[in-house]
Every structure is written in C-alpha cells, then in structure tokens.
C-alpha cells in the first residue's frame, strides 16, 4: 500500500486539534470528516459507465480513505455526482478557454473529472486522459480563471500538501488557506458579533 495513505489518515485526524493551523475555506461543510471508502466494484462501475480509467492515486484514495468529504473547498464530491468535462477554447468570445460538460457519448478529447465542490462556477478537476492525466487542475466553467495546473504530481500529493500547509499555518491562495495571523481580525469581529458586543468600540 502507498505509504502516503497512512500519513494522510494521521494528518487529517490532527487538523481539527491543531490550535495554530490555517483555516480552509469551506471546512465548515465537511468538518474534516470523510465518507466511508468505496468498494472496488463501485469504482469500476463508474469507469465502465463512462468508458474511463481513474488515475490510480485517486482510485486508492476512494477505496482506502473515503468516497467523499474532507478536502480543500467544500469537500470531495460523491463519485456518483462527479461529471466529466472537456477543455473548451473560446477565443472568439474574448475568453481564452473554459471547461464544458462532456455529456453524451464518450469524447476522444482530453477529459477532466469534476471531483471537488468549489462553489459558483469554479471547478476542481482531475485529468483523466491526455497530457494532464492524474494532475489536479482548477478553473472556471465560464472561462474567467485558469486553467491552473497543480505542481503536485498526483492527487495524493496534492491532498497531502493541503494538509501540510494547513498544519503549518500557511496562507495558500490556490488551496484557499488563510493563516491564523490573517484570520485574527475576522475571528475577532465574528466573536464580538456572537457575544453581542458593540462593534463600534475599538
């Protein structure tokens, strides 16, 4: 078994108990909890239905750690909610590119699986075919942002980097992490609001 699986499991358990960690955007939704792992047959069913083969590190995550839940942003989508996208150049609109839902029969162009709920039209995708297979790509279905290809070599490396940066209390725009130092003023206002204090006082 990949040694990263055990490390990720341990680090994920440490995050909620770490006082000076970063805040991860969307963490309130998943609470750093994973759904139960998926069976090999359940994953194989999706692969057969969509005529694809999931990158092995992502597949191992699903079958040994969890089939949804804790991740950057609002959490890993359940496998049945993941959809395939293709990259769609749209130079004529003034937007250099976008991602388009790959409905209908299998496309022969490069495919990306929408794996994480990021909110609005933002997308966190995993390359399935083509030169970016196995890499995490962030972007936007409207073509306003990206595509940004993670420097992490595969999904497990990308996921573990999220945990490491959070445990180290770092800021990370790509992963939407906010360090304790930057978050302190926001926490103060929220605390005052919760306690019914006069927010106009210094």
Q: Comparing C-alpha atoms, which of 142, 148, 113 is closest to residue 128?
A: 113
CB 79 within 8 A of CB 38: yes
What's residue 121's pLDDT? Answer: 75
* pTM reported for the whole predicted model: 0.83
Residues 6+ apart with CB under 8 A from 129: 52, 110, 111
Give 2's pLDDT tier (boundaries 50, 70, 90). Answer: confident
Edge to edge, the sheet with strand 136-140 lists 99-101, 84-87, 111-117, 122-127, 136-140, 148-149
- Give the fold, CATH level 3, of 3-195: SMI1/KNR4-like (3.40.1580)
Please state the length of the chain: 202
What's residue 119's pLDDT? Answer: 80
Segment (H or E) for 75: none
> Where are the domains positioned within the chain?
3-195
Residue 161 Rama label (left phi>0; alpha psi -120 to 50; beta): alpha
Q: How far is CA 120 from CA 67, 88, 142, in A?
A: 22, 19, 10
Q: Which of 27-36, 120-129, 177-186 has the lowest mean pLDDT?
A: 177-186
Segment (H or E) for 162: helix 155-167
Segment (H or E) for 123: strand 122-127
Separation of alpha carbons 187 and 184, rounded Å: 5
Q: What is the pLDDT of residues 42-95, one digit of tens each?
A: 999 999 998 999 999 999 999 999 999 999 999 999 999 999 988 765 544 444
Separation of alpha carbons 147 and 152, rounded Å: 15
Q: What is the pLDDT of residues 145-193, one digit of tens each?
A: 557 899 999 999 999 999 999 999 999 988 999 999 887 666 666 567 6
């Amino acid at each position: 078994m990949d040694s990263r699986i055990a490390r990720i499991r341990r680090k994920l358990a440490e995050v909620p108990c770490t006082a000076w960690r970063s805040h991860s955007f969307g963490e309130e939704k998943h609470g750093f909890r994973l759904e139960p792992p998926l069976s090999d047959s359940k994953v194989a069913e999706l692969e057969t239905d969509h005529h694809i083969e999931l990158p092995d590190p992502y597949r191992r995550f699903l079958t040994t750690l969890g089939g949804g839940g804790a991740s950057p942003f609002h959490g890993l989508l359940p496998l049945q909610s993941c959809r395939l996208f293709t990259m769609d150049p749209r130079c004529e609109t003034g937007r250099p590119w976008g991602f388009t839902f790959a409905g209908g029969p299998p496309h022969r162009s490069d495919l990306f699986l929408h794996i994480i709920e990021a909110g609005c039209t933002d997308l966190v995708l995993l390359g399935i075919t083509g030169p970016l297979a196995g890499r995490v790509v962030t972007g936007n279905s409207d073509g306003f942002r990206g595509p940004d290809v993670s420097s992490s070599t595969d999904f497990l490396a990308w996921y573990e980097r999220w945990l490491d940066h959070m445990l180290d209390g770092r800021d990370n725009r790509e992963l939407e992490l906010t360090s304790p130092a930057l978050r302190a003023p926001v926490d103060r206002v929220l605390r005052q609001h919760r306690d019914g204090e006069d927010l106009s006082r210094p």
